[in-house]
Structure 1
Amino acid sequence: MIDLVSQLTHRKKGYTLEAPFYTDPEIFATDMDVIFGQHWIFVGVDVDVPQAGDVMLVKLGQTEIAIVRDDDEEIRAFHNVCRHRGARLVHEEKSTVGNLVCRYHSWVYDTTGQLIHAEHMGETFDKSCHGLKPVHVRSLEGLLFICLAENPPADYEEMERQMAPYLAPHNLREAKIAYEHDLIEQGNWKLTIENNRECYHCSANHPELTVPLFAYGFGFDPTELEPAEREHAENYAAMLNDNHRDWESQGLPSKEIDRLDEMVTSFRTERLPLAGAGESHTMDTKRACRKLMGSMTNAKAGALHFWTQPNSWHHFMGDHAVVFSVLPIDAEHSIVRTKWLVHKDAVEGVDYDLDNLINVWMATNAQDGELVGYCQDGVRGKGYVPGPYSPHTEMLVEKCTNWYVGRMLAHLARTRAVA
């Protein structure tokens, strides 16, 4: 039996976690209970369920959630479990229904989750007591978050207050999903997130992604720079300040907000300039879609980055958006779910070429999946010991890991206090 409190309390700051946190099924079960069971989890976008009656399934470990747009256009979420004898209710990843009907004994629920039909249950049976079990769901300017806890973290409102002005110009509710892709990574969910929270590895592993990205936007050791490199870094810093000033004058909030290790519902955002033509995450750095998103009027508006703990990162450009979620499968496997969004009126083959839209991140995801697999292979071995994060390029990984440790310890302390 692993003493989680001792392991977490004695974790060395600035270092990776001990191997069991990436491999042990018991710790994974605790992760699913504490991290994915008690916090706001990003699961999709409003336009995953664009019309009344549309349903989307999301799986977190062994728990399935049905996300439904009801007849009044409100998005609701329920545990995907019939209240009769526990049968799985919805079976397709996406579908459209009039009502939700259990295939086992034909109990029928409307799209608000109320039980409206159940045969042979007797005169004293009260249908109103057997509606679907609800799950908290919130939309942040078109980004869907759910929380399985009875009482979800209240600081979601603070994230919403700060982030809504950044996201609103891109107007995801007036977008459509041009493409979505699931990649199963051979690694623990924390390794996937650690990999995402740094670009130390980018120059050696992401030839496509480093075309639109500036190398100096993701950290560097100033003591290692040659004079020419130092000049480039200083020029980048000046350009960043100029861009932030110009974008904010256009009504595009851009300056960094970093709350990755300060809140229960933690997040980070910043609008960063893009290289080359400066328009999009494409191989030629030009816009991938002719129709701009939302109220955007400038294709050269950089890329707005938005990260949330514990499982998402997103990029919003003038012409399209790419949203990512990490959905744990088990201790050593995770799904990286990616969705590309364009303006709802954009026509494939006319306004955008699909390959051009998706190829940078399709390549990057595949490369990252391979790297995460390397790490998972390594942490299984007896030679693994926690290694140090770079203070110049992996400082956000440390914040992510420190947030995880803090949330786990807080929960375990509450559990001990109750016991």
Structure 2
Amino acid sequence: MLDFVSNPLLDLLRRRRPGYSLEAPFYTSPEIFEADLEVIFGRHWIFVGVEPDVPEPGDVMVVDVGRNSVAIVRDDDGAVRAFHNVCRHRGARLVHEEKTTVGNLVCRYHSWTYDLNGALIHAEHMGDGFDRSCHGLKPVHLRSLEGLLFICLADEPPADFDEMARVMAPYIAPHNVRDTKIAYQHDLIEPGNWKLTMENNRECYHCNANHPELTVPLFAYGFGFAPEELDDTERANATRYACMLTDKHGEWEAMGLPSREQEHLDDMVTGYRTERLPLDGEGESHTLDTKAACRKLLGSLDNAKIGGLHFWTQPNSWHHFMGDHIVTFSVLPLDAERSLLRTKWLVHKDAVEGVDYDLDNLISVWMATNAQDSELVGFCQQGARTAAYEPGPYSPHTEMLVEKFANWYVKRMRAHADPRTAE
């Protein structure tokens, strides 16, 4: 347990200047990184994957969060469970592959064997007085939000997940995550602190100059702008976009697709944001021609032109739901200056590669965008290491959601460092 009172972290948190980026140690200090692991990733709901990661009974997925390893298992009754990936005998790692299929969970060291409910069912040579029921796998809190999997390592997880789920379930349900398969997964190690990766995601100030692929399907006016800097043509285009957004929200909601903005990025412990936004061009998907990448639409949808639903969660995920496919992103910290960005592309479980979708077309926009963002995050990390770095001002027009991420982070850290500041 970190001693926040004697740690300079508390002073840094107290003097954080609203509307400005964080001080350099938040991005470079190994001690603050350890605090992030303990407080943010150890006590909050973390997005780790999707139910199609473990589609059948016996399927296992391992996710490492800092030094903690978690095994996510689908049991024989079809329920998804999570356990610490640690044998209860002498602490050996239990499952070594990222994904595997098992009948039972068997420790390679001394063959202690657990069923898919986590119960210890076999342990040789332990004597007559040994009680197997006291040595089952340690459970980890797990929640599925319409097929999106979140874990919490704390003994008592934040209770407001239920409120987020109540609001978000109707938005996500039409896309039927549970009835999809993972067409592709890409793991990218970004050369920056996890907060820099998240900050970069929470704004599109940088998009026009850096993301030629992403700005094909996305409208520039959907991510903030300074009205006083627009010329007459740009102002007219911005007005048309605002009218189109209102019209599309009404149209989609009449189809049974909740679309209007819900924003709780820094006023809930389990912060989140969602909104369905129109897409440019053909308006069907995040592809270079803006047309659907997969011919087989998700769930019972019969129209690909339903925009792109985005869903962000604090502290580590963002998602895009289209009519034809879904893209999920999770950020997992590796050390103070490196992060793992894990991206998954989901299509209908019956879609056939090469028949219903071309894989390169499906993934090209976000593969390019992720690589570009990784380079930008690296630039910021390099700057944070220098003596010249100091917190810079966020744009009030295009970086307001970065400020909400930073504000959420500081509030959550202070709530644990100084309980008097907790909401």
Q: TM-score per shorter chain, which class?
A: over 0.9
Is 1:22 equivalent to 2:38 in the alignment?
Answer: no
* 1:379 matched residue in structure 2: 384
Contact 2:48/2:149 (8 A) holds in 1: yes
Q: 1:203 aligns with which of 191, 204, 208?
A: 208
Cα deviation code 1:296-336 (max 9, x no counterpart): 12100000000000000000000000000001101000000
- C-alpha separation in 1, matches of 2:250 and 2:411: 36
1:104 to 98, 101, 109: 109
Secondary structure of 1:181's aligned partner: strand
SS of the aligned residue for 2:328 comes to: strand
Match in the other structure for 1:169: 174
Moved over 2 A (4+): 414-417
Shift of 1:29: 0.5
Corresponding position of 1:345: 350
SS state at 1:231 partner: helix
- Range that drifts further, 1-10 or 342-351: 1-10
* Residue-by-residue CA offset, 1:162-182 (whole Å, 9 max, x unaligned): 000000000000000000000
* CA positional deviation for 1:385: 0.3
- After TM superposition, give the deviation of residue 200 of structure 1 in Å: 0.2
Q: What's the CA shift for 1:3?
A: 1.4
| Structure 2 CA distance for aligned equivalents of residues 378 and 207 of structure 1 | 25
For residues 125-140 of structure 1, the aligned pairs below 5 Å read 125-140=130-145
2:287 is aligned with 1:282: yes
Residue in 2 that maps onto 1:118: 123
Tell me the residue number matched to 1:7.
Answer: 12
Aligned residue for 1:83? Answer: 88
Name the counterpart of 1:311: 316
Deviation digits for residues 340-375 of structure 1, max 9, x if unmatched? Answer: 000011000000000000000000000000000000
| Deviation, structure 1 residue 414 | 3.5
Paired residues in the alignment total: 417
Give the counterpart of 1:267 among 272, 290, 296. 272
Give how far 1:6 is off.
1.4
Cα deviation, residue 415, structure 1: 10
Partner of 2:397: 392
Q: Deviations over 1:179-223 (max 9, x none)?
A: 000000000000000000000000000000000000000000001
Q: Which moved more, 1:207-216 or 1:289-298?
A: 289-298
Task: Give the structure-2-normalised TM-score.
Answer: 0.98
Any gaps of 5 or more consecutive residues in structure 2?
Answer: 1-5
8 Å Cα contact 2:415/2:421 also seen in 1 = no
The reply on whether 1:179 has 2:220 as its aligned counterpart is: no
Which residue, out of 208, 221, 227, partners 1:216?
A: 221
- The RMSD of aligned alpha carbons is 1.1
- Asked whether 1:191 is paired with 2:196, we answer yes
1:413 Cα offset (Å): 1.8
1:252 is matched with 257
Rounded Cα–Cα distance in structure 1 between residues aligned with 2:266 and 2:19:
13
Paired with 2:260 and 2:301, the residues of 1 have a C-alpha distance of 18
Distance (Å, rounded) in 2 between the aligned partners of 1:331 and 1:295: 44
Q: Could you list the runs of 5+ residues in structure 1 that have no partner in the other structure?
A: none
* Corresponding residue of 2:97: 92
The secondary structure found in structure 2 opposite 1:27 is: helix
TM-score by length of 1: 0.98
Deviation of 1:2 (Å): 4.7
